[in-house]
Amino acid sequence: MPESVAAALVVAAGRLVDSDTPRLDAELLMAHALGISREAMLLGRLGDPVPAGFAGLIERRAAGEPVAYITGRRAFWTIELEVGPGALIPRPDSETLIEAAVEHFGKGGPKRILDLGTGPGTLLLAALAEWPEARGLGIDRSEQALAYARANAAALGLDGRAQFRLGDWAVDLEGQFDLVLCNPPYVEIGAALARDVAEHEPHSALFAGEDGLDDYRRLAPMLARLIAPGGLGAVEIGHQQAVAVTGLFKDLGLRCSVRQDLGRRDRCVLIHG
């Protein structure tokens, strides 16, 4: 076994042949094994001896388990969230929705926020951390995911402003919201996914019918009544779904635009109240 953290990272990255980011994965798992941040490890701990549990973490990653499930944590926007089996892992692409909301509302921010399909609280808690005067509601069909969301709200000190509820999108939900956030399932049944996603993340949060549009069809009429005048809806899409999804919304008289992620791929449909 390599004697130093630096040497072990080289060997571990070579072991993770199925990962798109083998070196990053190895660094995140090493930092987790050391009990410090990745930055602290890179800046001052590369000469340390290898912690005993590191090899086991690498074996789990090599077997396809997501890094976020191994460490139990994932950074998103300005916050860090607890994640695990049963909850969709936050993706950097989803930050596009928060960026769009910040651009729309500025520092004043929305007062009432709704997050449909909140998972571990990803979008709602990121928005509440951005705007200290806002309050919000997160809805999900999974009690397992909501358990993570409630724990994350408490850990971030946001539980006084965030409520979570078991539900089927916005069925039986009354009222309007200044900001409606939603990252629905949008993968076509049968689509090829990375091994760690396909084998570990909840399929109910990924797949949405033969064309990936089933949940947008249900959401469209709900969004039409949920967004307050002057408000904003931000709905994540697959990068090839902009035309289809905006068509569904425009058929109901909604005003839409499309926002791209940092990779210049269509990622978010904005609905203007």
What domains are there in the chain, each with its CATH number?
Answer: 5-63 (1.10.8), 73-272 (3.40.50.150)
pLDDT < 50 regions, the chain: none
pLDDT recorded at residue 1: 59
The 3 state secondary structure assigned to 49-75 is CCCCCHHHHHHHHHCCCCHHHHHCEEE
What is the pLDDT at residue 2? 75
pLDDT of 180 reads 98
pLDDT tens-digit readout, 112-125: 999 999 999 999 99
**According to the model, what pLDDT value does residue 3 have?**
83
